[in-house]
Amino acid sequence: MEERKVRVRFAPSPTGPLHMGGVRTALYNYLFAKKNGGDFLLRIEDTDQTRFVPGAEQYIIEALEWCGMKFDEGVHVGGPHAPYRQSERKEMYRQYAMQLIEAGHAYYAFDTTEELDEMRERLKASNVASPQYNYITRESMKNSLSLPHDEVERRLAAGDAYVVRIKIPRKEEIRVTDMIRGNVLVHSSQMDDKVLFKSDGMPTYHLANVVDDYLMKITHVIRGEEWLPSAPLHVLLYRYLGWEEVMPQFAHLPLLLKPDGNGKLSKRDGDRLGFPVFPLEWKDPFSGEISSGYREKGYFPEAFINMLALLGWNPGTNQEIFSMTELIEAFSVDRISKSGAKFDANKTKWFNQQYLRAKEDAELAEIFNKELLSKGINVDINYVENVCALIKEKAQFITEFWSLAFYFFEEPTEFDAEVIKKKWKDNVPDFLLNLTNALKTLEDFSHTSIENKFKEIAEQTGISPGSVMQIFRVAISGLAAGPAIFEMISLIGKEKVVARLEKAIKYFNETK
Ligand code: GLU
């Protein structure tokens, strides 16, 4: 068989915001495609109209864009296999359902909801744990296998509502070859006659998914573990539709687990433990409830992606920091683990911190400046850049910058009371006064020059420099801790520093 170009798809259903597990699925597809010089598609699987949530599709697109994943084809970028939204492909699926019926691999079923319920009740009453529409029960139901041919014809002609079900063989081993799990064998007696085509004229997920993967020439299906039980059905569909030759290879990804247990990570865990599970903020269109997102919490998309990439995959080395390009280079399906990956919110913060430290000061300044402008603070961007350079080591998020650095932009109005109480005594007031006067006339206001002066005055006052460092800081910033002090003083500038010192001395004397 000729080598086929690698083509993978991310195929979400627009039933709500994209969970980070979904982002990871998209990411692994993306990395796999790019690693292999292939295509990455976005297909929207919206055949279940009852679960449609307005805004979800737009959200998914925006979230993946924020994460830096680019699609080669898809609902928002078009492509040779358009449309990429299944509801717009509706007409394409019926013929395949009919093809399956003709080949004897599917059948019409006319059962009403009541009849289905009744069947389940009946089976439950005779101790069948999970009643199914299958090779045994189908005999006693109303379908084209059990009803006389002319009645089937009559019902179809009369326009009776029907669904199309697959006819699962009675005794067959079905083998799913999974790139992560190896061979998975399922006995067909465990499977039920799933609906492929519904009475509303829409295919179900199973049929639409297989038909579209075939038509869109998908070579690898990389998706969440929750779809593994459906894979044998999909294998049968490929076989019965005559597409076995080009059946994609499957890879079912391990679950993302909650940080403090073994269950699947859910939005509730995020609410409970205080971390987002969605890439972007989501406002539920029905309840109006707002769920926070990584973007709004101040995470860099690169950090979020880096963290997700390592949640279920490892590079085989100790390297932890990967750009998207490095991830593409390093990625391979055989390093995806079989077992679930525990999410660690602190590690995620750590990743953000690493990216924050590595960012150019100018880039940070640009982001921080937006916040400053929104507060009505309009200062030289070089000044903002210098502030960023000084404080970035202290932060994990840009969103913390203001609380760490507000005093570079406005005078503090509160001062650390503990420090004042503890330190404002003996000859400390003299020291600060002397220092203020000395700084007033200091020509060179560089940090080394300030530091020298500081030491000189401490010595003259007969005090150890280390013991007055903190009160000096509090006088300028109000806070007991912060960045390198002499750099900070130098940056704020002589005039402001002197004015603040004078005010602080007065205030300390009054409040001590
Ligand atoms: N529409 C399915 C989902 O929402 C896609 C599963 C698959 O990739 O086959 O996850």
Q: Is 11 near ligand 1, meaning CB less than 6 Å away?
A: yes
Helix/strand/coil for 445: coil
Active site (annotated) includes residue 267: yes
- The answer to whether the CB of 209 is under 6 A from ligand 1 is yes
**Ligand 1 atom with minimal separation from the 15 CA:** 4
Say whether both 113 and 241 belong to one domain. yes
Q: For the whole model, what pTM was predicted?
A: 0.92
Same domain flag for 474 and 422: yes
Alpha carbons 192 and 195: distance in angstroms, whole number: 9
Instruction: Output the CA angle 48-50-55, nearest 5 degrees.
Output: 90
Same domain, 223 and 363: no
Closest to 253 (Cα-Cα) out of 184, 180, 332, 176: 180
Given pLDDT bands bounded at 50, 70 and 90, which one contains residue 242? very high
Same domain, 99 and 234: yes
CA 470 remoteness from chain centre = 42
Q: Which residues pair with 186 in a beta bridge?
A: 174
Checking DSSP bridges between strand 256-257 and strand 73-74, what pairing results, if any?
Answer: unpaired
State how far the Cα of 392 lies from the Cα of 390, in Å rounded to an integer: 6
- Kindly tell me if the per-residue pLDDT of 2 is higher than 70: no
- Per 3-state DSSP, what percentage of the chain is helix, strand, and coil (rounded to 5)? 50, 10, 40
- Say yes or no: 108 and 209 in one domain: yes
Mean of per-residue pLDDT scores for the chain:
97
Pocket-testing residue among 27, 205, 213, 214, ligand 1, by greatest number of atoms within 8 A of Cβ: 205
Whichever domain contains 455, its CATH number is 1.10.10.350
Cα torsion angle, 431, 437, 439, 443, sign: negative
Please report whether residue 144 resides in a domain: yes
Is residue 493, in this structure, part of any structural domain at all? yes
Number of domains in the chain: 3
Asked whether residue 363 falls in the same domain as residue 431, the answer is no
CA–CA distance from 458 to each of 125, 151, 424, 467 (Å)? 91, 105, 15, 9
Position 1 confidence tier, pLDDT thresholds 50, 70, 90: low
Helix runs in 375-464, H state only: 381-391, 401-405, 417-423, 428-440, 447-461
Residue range 409-436, pLDDT digits in tens: 999 999 999 999 999 999 999 999 999 9
Task: Answer whether 168's CB lies under 8 Å from 191's CB.
Answer: yes
Helix (H) or strand (E) holding 278: none
Domain membership of residue 502 (yes or no) is yes
Residues 364 and 480 in one domain: no
pLDDT at 3: 83
Examine residue 354 and state whether it is found in any structural domain, yes or no: no
Ligand 1 near 12 CB (within 6 A)? yes
- Residue 444 confidence class, pLDDT cut points 50, 70, 90: very high
Domain that includes residue 504, residue range: 411-511
Nearest Cα neighbor of 119 from 133, 109, 99 is 133
What is the rounded CA–CA span in Å between residue 296 and residue 327?
A: 24
Residue range 372-421, pLDDT digits in tens: 999 999 999 999 999 999 999 999 999 999 999 999 999 999 999 999 99
- Verify that 231 and 102 share a domain, yes or no: yes
The rounded Å distance from CA 223 to ligand 1 centre is 7
- Spell out the SS3 assignment of 81-106: CCCCEHHHHHHHHHHHHHHHHHCCCE
Q: How far is CA 49 from CA 121, 205, 313, in A?
A: 27, 11, 34
Residue 281 CA to residue 294 CA, distance in Å, equals 8
pLDDT tens-digit profile of 246-294?
999 999 999 999 999 889 999 999 999 999 999 999 999 999 999 999 9
For the domain that residue 238 is a member of, what is the CATH number? 3.90.800.10
Residue 264 is assigned to a structural domain of this protein = no
| Helix (H/G/I), strand (E/B), else coil: 377 | coil
For ligand 1, the distance from its centroid to the CA atom of residue 53, given in whole angstroms, is 16
Q: What does R_g of the chain's alpha carbons equal in angstroms?
A: 33
Contact 295, 17 (CB under 8 A): no
Q: Are residues 187 and 103 in the same domain?
A: yes
Considering 338, 370, 401, which residue would you say is the last residue of a domain? 401
On whether both 504 and 434 belong to a single domain, the answer is yes
- 105 and 177 share one domain: yes
Q: Which of 35, 267, 347, 503 is the catalytic position?
A: 267
Whether residue 497 is contained in a domain is answered as yes
Q: Which of 350, 369, 401 is the C-terminal boundary of a domain?
A: 401
- State both tokens at 506: 């007065």
Express as a percent the part of the chain with pLDDT over 70.
Answer: 99
